[in-house]
Amino acid sequence: MIAVNGVTKAYQDGAVRRQVLRGVDLEVARGSTAAIVGPSGSGKSTLLNILGALDTPDAGSVRVDGVDLTASRPSALAGFRNRSLGFVFQFHQLLPDFTALENVMMPGRIAGRPTSSLSALALALLDQVGLADRAGAFPQQLSGGERQRIAICRALVLEPAVLLADEPTGNLDSRSGEQVLELLDTLRRRRDTTMLLVTHNPAVANRCRKVLRLDGGRLTALGA
Amino acid sequence: MGFVWHIAVRYFRSTRADAHIRALSTLTAGGLAVGTAALVLALAALAGFQNLLLEDLTRHTPALQIEFGGGSAGEGAAATESLRDLAELAAATNGVAGVQELLYARGWLADEDRPFAVEVLGYEKTPPPWIPVPGEAISGLIVPVSAALRMGLAVGDTVRVVSPRPGLTPVGPQPRTRMLPVDLIYRSGRAEEADDPVLVPLEQASALFAGGDRRLDLTLAPGADPEEIGDFLRRGIDPAVATVTTWREANRALLFVLRLEKGLVFSAVALIVAVASFALLAALSMVLSSKRAEVGVLAAMGAPPARLQRVFLLLGALLSVGGASLGGAAGAGLAAFLDRYRVISTPSDVYVVDYVPFLVRGTDVLVVLVVTVLFTAAAAVIGARKASLLHPVEAMRSART
């Protein structure tokens, strides 16, 4: 499902070239879960962005859901992101001008799905996370935990093959964080979605089948 | 509603929320409204004046004229192509409704005290249409009011017409003169009334001013094309003898100045629209700056750059279409009002009319709208291109910084 081989990535930081990833290899099977942990600035988000077709590696190959991301054109990658990937970000990244329901429907709107069926699907998802009555609320009217639950609904509305989560509980208190993780796991299981999450919280990481540590640009398995 | 409309309309509504963006978008709409209104109004005023001018011009200029070079027809090389032949050729041409022979000369009107220099126009059948005199040819003189006032002439007086061309008599060369009665006094209504000619029947004028300039004025049938008939006549006339001129050719310099005037006024006033377009670009840039992270999220969710670009193009259109439409309608409405009620007056002794006429032409409004669309589209394309070039990761990161 996710197959990464020899991926390297460096950034130019002023006059210094920072090597962030140094030959990263990774495999995550369909329906499985994996967590990447590591200190801040270790390149966790960079790796996640590469897996999410939001960034390109300097070298190596990346295959996600059967698509070679390093050989695809940008327009094809946009379609791939919409069709096959779901993103959950640390700061929820909901669109403030749109209601909770509209936010959940947004990937479907980008895909050109009919509004009526999409609306029903999004409402069903909001109902599953206990926010059906908040469908008409704007993000600024919701709590942090509610926003993150809506972000999860948005990520899953098109039933993507892969869910990528970047510090999904990093901005929440422990109780809300626990609720969000439970929800993420429940919804993922129902759809047999592959999940890869990035966190620096060992407790969050330990909920995944596979835990990898990224340090010094290299990925090492901590447990499986 | 598709994705592009959905996002653009919502972003358009959100421009009301931010004070800076609201100010800029209001400035954009207001600037475009003022610019298009000013353009429509300026073009309507120009069209109004030019329309009157052209109407006056067509009244005073024949649709086609045939002028004889170097003196009277029938002399020298023109022997085979006499004036009468040309008049017959012109009269037989399809689309020509009438042919009038005219003679132009300079001479004097003399009373007992002194002579007064005048332009003399010899006419064949009826006075030309720009001389407001009814009826058939008159045997006497038709005198402009300016000359009549200078000489103290009244209808029924007799005055001596003097030609500069002397006639040979037994006592030597003597000026050719003829005593003729004043049958009519006219007022042409032109600004240059002092140059109005004294009209003399052609027979008398030919006898006095044999060397005057001869011309054939052609009246065309309704719908006939002067250019087409002119080309046809040119093929049958030796250019060394006579030249065929359409009313457009005869007034080429004036028509060029009118076009130039319109172009310059349009360019100057269009600067308002250009400035408003810069405001649109600024407004779009501010919207993009405030929505940077959201655009990154949309890109991350799979919105292709081309569709994000269309979102901002549409947003640019939404920000500008209201102002431009309002301005266009206001300009056209105001022009119609000013023309109908003749609100702006002008000194009638300076201009041909005593008010500022406005004429709203559909083509002018269309040109204004097209120019406005081009300016705003250019601004919107620049703004929209910025949106399409945003890197999703960088854009989303901006939300946290």
pLDDT, residue B78, reads: 45
B301 → closest Cβ in A49, A55, A81: A81
Domain end residue (candidates: B247, B265, B285): B247
C-alpha to C-alpha distance for B333 and B156, rounded to whole angstroms: 53
The fold of A2-223 is Rossmann fold (3.40.50)
One domain, residues B235 and B281: no
Report the range of poorest mean pLDDT among A169-178, B1-10, B58-67, B115-124: A169-178
One domain, residues B230 and B271: no
One domain, residues B286 and B381: yes
C-alpha to C-alpha distance for A142 and B220, rounded to whole angstroms: 81
Q: How many domains does chain B have?
A: 2
Q: Decide if B181 touches A, using CB distance below 8 A.
A: no
pLDDT, residue B333, reads: 95
Q: Mean pLDDT across the stretch B344-362?
A: 85
One domain, residues B7 and B78: no
One domain, residues B235 and B273: no
One domain, residues B260 and B382: yes
Give the minimum alpha-carbon distance from A45 to chain B in angstroms, rounded to a whole number: 10
Chain A residues within 8 A of B400 when measuring between CB atoms: 91
Beta carbons of A106 and B301 less than 8 Å apart: yes
pLDDT, residue B60, reads: 76
One domain, residues B258 and B241: no
Segments making up each domain of chain A, as ranges: 2-223
Q: Mean pLDDT across the stretch B240-248?
A: 88
> Is residue A223 pLDDT above 60, yes or no?
no
Q: Mean pLDDT across the stretch B346-366?
A: 86
| H-assigned helices in B145-251 | 145-151, 202-208, 226-236, 247-250
Q: Mean pLDDT across the stretch A127-147?
A: 92
> Is residue B77 pLDDT above 50, yes or no?
no
Mean pLDDT of chain B: 87
pLDDT, residue B80, reads: 37
Q: Which of B339, B364, B363, B365 is nearest to B353 (CA)?
A: B339
Query: Does residue A197 contact residue A32 with C-beta atoms inside 8 Å?
Result: no
Q: Decide if B252 touches A, using CB distance below 8 A.
A: no
Chain B residues within 8 A of A79 when measuring between CB atoms: 302, 304
The token pair at A25 is 């290899």
One domain, residues B340 and B220: no
Q: Decide if B399 touches A, using CB distance below 8 A.
A: yes
**For an interface test with B, which of A102, A104, A110 has the most B Cβ atoms less than 10 Å from its Cβ?**
A110
Q: In the structure, what pLDDT confidence band is assigned to residue B393 with cuts at 50, 70 and 90?
A: confident
One domain, residues B127 and B203: yes
Domain enclosing residue B340, as ranges:
3-58+254-397
Q: Mean pLDDT across the stretch A146-161?
A: 92
pLDDT, residue A42, reads: 87
Half-sphere exposure at residue B152, Cβ-oriented, CA atoms within 13 angstroms: 5
Q: Mean pLDDT across the stretch A168-179?
A: 81
pLDDT, residue B72, reads: 46
Beta carbons of A82 and B302 less than 8 Å apart: yes
Give the minimum alpha-carbon distance from A219 to chain B in angstroms, rounded to a whole number: 22
> Is residue B10 pLDDT above 80, yes or no?
yes
Question: Which residues 51-90 of chain A have a CB within 8 Å of chain B?
Answer: 52, 54-55, 74-75, 78-83, 85, 87, 89
> Is residue B103 pLDDT above 70, yes or no?
yes
Considering just the CA atoms, what is the radius of gyration of chain B in Å?
33
Beta carbons of A95 and B298 less than 8 Å apart: yes
Identify the closest residue of chain A to B5 by CA–CA distance: A109
Domain end residue (candidates: B208, B230, B247): B247
Count of positions (residues) in chain B: 401
> Is residue B135 pLDDT above 70, yes or no?
no
Q: How far is CA B325 from CA A63, B14, B72, B267, B336, in A?
A: 52, 22, 60, 20, 16
One domain, residues B52 and B149: no
One domain, residues B269 and B381: yes
Q: Decide if B12 touches A, using CB distance below 8 A.
A: no
One domain, residues B52 and B77: no
Q: Mean pLDDT across the stretch B74-93?
A: 68
Report the range of poorest mean pLDDT among A97-101, A172-176, A190-194: A172-176
Chain A residues within 8 A of B392 when measuring between CB atoms: 54
Q: Decide if B401 touches A, using CB distance below 8 A.
A: no
Domain end residue (candidates: B247, B266, B294): B247
